[in-house]
Structure 1
Amino acid sequence: MEIKITPSAVARIAELIAKDKNKQVALRVSVDGGGCSGFMYNYQLVGSVNNDDFILENNGVKVAVDPISQEFLEGCTIEFIQELGSNYFQITNPKATAKCGCGNSFTV
């Protein structure tokens, strides 16, 4: 499986994990049904990873993806965007045929 993570996303995940008092070890990125366009991205700091997760590690930062979400996230790029008034993770997904205005939900 191939997923890319930009330096801005690596830095933000490291910052979030360092600030978390529950000793989280990874950012879990998953895809669930719902949202405006049919599927939506979810982000959650987790304290452990599962044996069947795909683990992307970059500069000591881990991103975990469950087996079901892997097929939707293959070839994606995860980045962290900082704009005036908002900061957010964004996924560029080559499999998405459409996405909502906020970019958090998509169609395949």
Structure 2
Amino acid sequence: MACVRFILQRGTKILETQAAVNTRLAQVIKDSGIGDPDFSHCGFKLECGSCAVNIDHSLAGAPKIEELMLLKSMGDEKSTRCSCQIQVSEKLEGKTIKLVW
């Protein structure tokens, strides 16, 4: 299992959790209980952007055009991705992922 480390935007709380490779990152966040009640309220359909995280694109791959359009409409920076579009991989081992909300 890849170890994915999340840093919450609120305060300095750090939560480390284990996640199986090829699991959807948004599902890991939701299952860990660290997402707020509105986290990914579209059900991982890339419609709301509420699952946004700050992550290096070299770790998560390039976003699809639909995701880029959603993130641009939200005014988010280049390192922001929708976690519903990211699969956990070995590249994430020990990395820090910051939740945007």
TM-score grouping bracket, smaller chain normalisation? under 0.3
Q: Normalization by structure 1: what TM-score? A: 0.26
> Would you tell me which structure has more helix in proportion to its own residues?
2
> Would you tell me which structure has more strand in proportion to its own residues?
1
